[in-house]
Structure 1
Amino acid sequence: MSERARSERDAFPGHWAHDLLPEELPDPDAQVLHTLTVAAEADGARIDRALTAALPELSRSRVQALIQAGRVRADGRMIAEPKTRVKAGQRLEVAVPPAAPATPRGESIPLAVVYEDAALIVIDKPAGMVVHPAPGNETGTLVNALIAHCGDSLQGIGGERRPGIVHRLDKDTSGLMVAAKTEPAHHALVAQFAERAIDRAYRAVCWGVPDPVSGRIEGDIGRAPQNRKKMAVVARGGRPAATQYKVRRVLARGGIAELSCKLETGRTHQVRVHLAEAGHALLGDPTYGRPRHRVLRELPDAAQQAVRGLTRQALHAERLGFAHPDDGRWCSFERPLPQDLQEVIDALSRVT
């Protein structure tokens, strides 16, 4: 159980007599009926907050949705407002319907699963895969693949049988991602990302060599004023962002560098935007950079071909760490560079 779930539960210690009624559940697809009796200490509490404390497997927004759907009763009377106050001795009933099928359909797409348990799944996303269905990318996404892979182990997020996406990688960025399989895990992981308690490290290859060779890039990120499809470091209207970097290796006689980057925040295109703003756009990035032809002309043919053959930005999420939402144990995962980036680095490392 996450620390957040524990704190909500502990806000009403011993307030509830809580029983499942298996005799009313003839099959696994039927609704689950929770019955609770309000103790004296909980008298006057808001019903949505009280039920969230008593049923930590449900988020507060989920409880509110159940109330608004007419699925919560107090002493047999339907409750219509989440702000309704409970009274000591009241018998509450919460009818939770089975999770509805996900709107995106599951698709049998191979996944590189790094770790999986009942609460979450960690995968190594390949470059070229979109995370979530959207206009123009309705199929073939990571969400479609996860729905098919996880199947019945998806307990439902917001009443829908789908994975809980808590962060994203750009289509053409490879590497580690975590997705929740249960609502409590989803909310616990979202909270960790919001509190910046997640460890995320990237490997990147950029034009030029940053000076100093290690440092921190700060700059609010928002929509680019001249092109709303791009992000940019902006003077107003953006969100604070900070990226730590360190040069791992100088390549191509100083024309290219391999970096390690660590995110302090998680803004859209953050690494790409910050490095481009610093004058060191990523190799292969069609949005925020362009080839430095002077550097390329000075390279041997094999190295030139390797760089020109890169069809996506040279960025890989190589490390991901977080506290497990069930028991708080620290989980850390690493994945090596995929073949396309490794081949570019190998070709450039041979340049003398």
Structure 2
Amino acid sequence: MDDKKNNDVWERTASVSDGGLRLDKFWGRELSDAGVSRGRVKSWIESGLATVDGKVVTKGKHKLMGHETLRIGAAENEAGDEAPQPMAGDLTALFEDEHMLVVSKPAGLTTHPAPSEQGPTLVNYLLNQWPDIATDISGMDEQRPGIVHRLDKDTSGIMAVARTEAARLKLAADFSERRVHKVYLAIVHGCPAQKQGLIDAPMGRHQTQKTKMDVLEKGGREARSEYRVLWTGPGGLASLVAVRIHTGRTHQIRVHMAHIGHPLVGDGVYGAHENTLWQRRPDSLATLAPRQMLHAWYLSIAHPATGEQITLTENPPDDFCMLLAGLTRECLRVGIVGMPGCGKSALLSLLRGLDQPCFSADESVARLYGPDGDGAAMIRQRFGGAYSREDGSVDKSALFTAMCESEILRREVMDMVHPMVRHECEEFFSAHRDAVVAYAEIPLLLEGGWHTKGDVDCVVGVQCPADKRTGELREKRGLDMETLAIFDSWQWAEKDKLEVCDLVLDNDGGLDDLKGQAEKLMDWVQNRFDARNTEFDDWLNGVWADLADRIDRERTGA
């Protein structure tokens, strides 16, 4: 079969084996290496630029017999009136040669023009910085020149772009055949129970909201996403997740992460409920997720001309990293413990005088036991008014006597009241999230396991000489020795308490000495807060390189 080309006119002689083949398929096969798509071949045939044995044929479905002389000419590449125009922008090229680009798409930029998005778009910026991709030069589609894959408007990150039609065809085929390795970074609400997993959930259009995608039980197209939790913020509020997509469905990561109950932070479409609650937060986090937190971070793709593997990463943009930093920079939650009468309340009062946010479990119980308190209502409902006053409040003297007489009743009351105190304390910590520290005096914190369940970040103990605690401090509280002994019996021994504490303060002097201990505590907390943030910053600065190395090894099998 001979082969001649002259001024974008190609000539072939059909072989016997070509008999029965459609004309458009024949030329699509023959010109694929020249970077000519089947769609362009079809348009040339329909424009009268193809002949069979010298006769013009305008139908691509024309069947060949074999041995015909075939010619086809290329129409001039002309941009129509609706073609996107160059617009000044500032795109960063991570890779560039005459065949392709790899660029960084900023969040908030649509990939290409559409009826609902005329510009500026990534295509407009590409045409300005790399005018050779325009249709009249490259021969590529005028509306989407160079585009071989897309990112959502509010998704940032790496995108491959073709500079020639031949490169476009090769890159598009690699994406279609799933020969491209893509990894995204996402910040999601909460923390998945499984730290890594494969989400195999077919997708399609939402049945009632056609602008949305959804996981479908029947009729969906294959969609697979592989995720890995890299880090979870304090309290499990949000997590940093790496997601590799094995398929490229529209909104795939957003839909899949929402499907397993952890939508992306900032995603008002697939995480509407969570996003609404987030925006209502009373702290600075409410302003740190203006978009869905998704970043195309890792791309490994074969060069369309040389076949060489090009592997690139791009660290997340500032808004992404600011949210991560904001998640870890919550207040240091300090629990204060000690034996009854050791001076915990006095320390708390001094801290309040130093403008520190403070919570008292005793004050919480007093509110709960008041006439309108939830604790009073629960005790009245459970015990039929046996320990209730006429105004609805708890008769604390009668209840204390009953608790002394019955360990079962004491534990039952504790099981009712402690969760309510814990809830109030959680709300207190949440309300002061933007502070450096928030202090909570919880007498039974250790006994309730708060320190092991992540309810506090550190525990500070107050130590007091026994004679002072059982003497002047007991008398100031109006406790007799028997009552103090009962309170002591309901708690851990002092030695056991102090061994668990991260810091122990001595209350062996007067009030001025205790104030000095309060100031010591504040300095210690500030240093701990700074150290925690520095540790996170160091981790964040190194995590991207470590993750890239891990993914490279997994991809290559090294």
Unaligned runs of 5+ in 2: 333-558
Pairwise CA distance, 1:39 = 6.4
Maintained 8 Å contact 1:46/1:86: no
The aligned counterpart of 2:99 is: 119
Distance 1:338 1:70, change over 3 A: same
Superposition CA RMSD, Å: 2.5
CA distance in 2, matches of 1:46, 1:249: 56
Deviates more, 1:57-66 or 1:160-169: 160-169
3-state DSSP of counterpart to 2:9 = strand
Q: Indicate the structure with greater helix content.
A: 2
Residue 254 (structure 1) aligned with residue 236 (structure 2): yes
Q: Indicate the structure with greater strand content.
A: 1
Distance 1:253 1:48, change over 3 A: same
Pairwise CA distance, 1:174 = 0.4
Deviates more, 1:74-83 or 1:311-320: 74-83
Counterpart residue type for residue 332 of structure 1: T
3-state DSSP of counterpart to 1:229 = coil
CA distance in 1, matches of 2:68, 2:261: 67
3-state DSSP of counterpart to 2:257 = helix
The aligned counterpart of 2:4 is: 18
Question: Cα deviation per residue 1:142-179 (whole Å; 9 max; x = unaligned)?
Answer: 11222222213441225x48513222111111011112
Aligned counterpart for 2:132 among listed residues 152, 174, 177:
152
Counterpart residue type for residue 128 of structure 2: A
The aligned counterpart of 1:312 is: 291
3-state DSSP of counterpart to 2:212 = strand
The aligned counterpart of 2:374 is: none
Pairwise CA distance, 1:283 = 0.9
Maintained 8 Å contact 2:187/2:238: yes
The aligned counterpart of 2:26 is: 50
The aligned counterpart of 1:167 is: 149
Distance 1:240 1:46, change over 3 A: closer
Distance 1:39 1:134, change over 3 A: closer
Residue 283 (structure 1) aligned with residue 283 (structure 2): no
Counterpart mapping for 1:1-352 below 5 A: 15-20=1-6, 32-38=7-13, 44=19, 46-55=22-31, 56-57=33-34, 58-82=36-60, 83-85=62-64, 87-88=66-67, 90=69, 92-101=70-79, 103-154=83-134, 155-158=138-141, 160=142, 163-289=145-271, 290-291=274-275, 293=277, 304-351=283-330
3-state DSSP of counterpart to 2:255 = helix
CA distance in 2, matches of 1:43, 1:140: 47
Q: Percent identity?
A: 34
Deviates more, 1:144-153 or 1:122-131: 144-153
Distance 1:231 1:43, change over 3 A: closer
**Greater C-alpha radius of gyration:** 2
Unaligned runs of 5+ in 1: 1-14, 21-31
Pairwise CA distance, 1:52 = 3.2
CA distance in 2, matches of 1:346, 1:164: 36
CA distance in 2, matches of 1:106, 1:60: 27
Distance 1:46 1:230, change over 3 A: closer
Distance 1:37 1:237, change over 3 A: closer
Pairwise CA distance, 1:69 = 0.7
Maintained 8 Å contact 1:219/1:241: yes
CA distance in 2, matches of 1:309, 1:75: 68
Question: Cα deviation per residue 1:196-247 (whole Å; 9 max; x = unaligned)?
Answer: 1111101111111111111111212122223222222121232121111111
The aligned counterpart of 1:27 is: none
Pairwise CA distance, 1:341 = 0.6
Distance 1:332 1:209, change over 3 A: same
Deviating beyond 6 angstroms after TM superposition, the runs of 4 or more aligned structure 1 residues are 294-297
* Higher RCO (CA < 8 A, seq sep 6+): 1
Maintained 8 Å contact 1:156/1:181: no
